[in-house]
Amino acid sequence: ILLEKCYSGDMYNMASGVTRSIGEMMLVFQSIIGMELTVKTKAVVPENADFNIDISKVKELGWRPNIPFDLTLKDVLSFYLKQ
């Protein structure tokens, strides 16, 4: 869809459209790797801070999310482990 309908140079966010907190994302990631994680950061972001990525622009082109969030995290982990 993007190759056919997007404008060159424009940015398009592709995400699930579901707001998740850092804590929620970490729980999913922990379940994938099978171990508890401790997150250390210099940034001051509360664990319950929500992250919502606006996908309205890409949805206007007809794109819809169809890959589950946990599968996306598994794919990202697999990619980085192969590097």
Q: What is the pLDDT of residues 32-46, one digit of tens each?
A: 999 998 877 666 666
**49 confidence band (pLDDT: 50, 70, 90):** low
Is the CB of residue 21 less than 8 Å from the CB of residue 49? yes
Can you give the pLDDT at residue 14?
A: 82
d(CA 51, CA 49): 7
pLDDT band for 21, please (50, 70, 90 cuts).
confident
Which tops the pLDDT comparison, 51 or 57?
57
DSSP type of residue 7:
P
Give me 52's structure tokens.
Answer: 């919502």
Given a cut of 90, is residue 78 above it in pLDDT? yes
**Amino acid 45: pLDDT:** 64
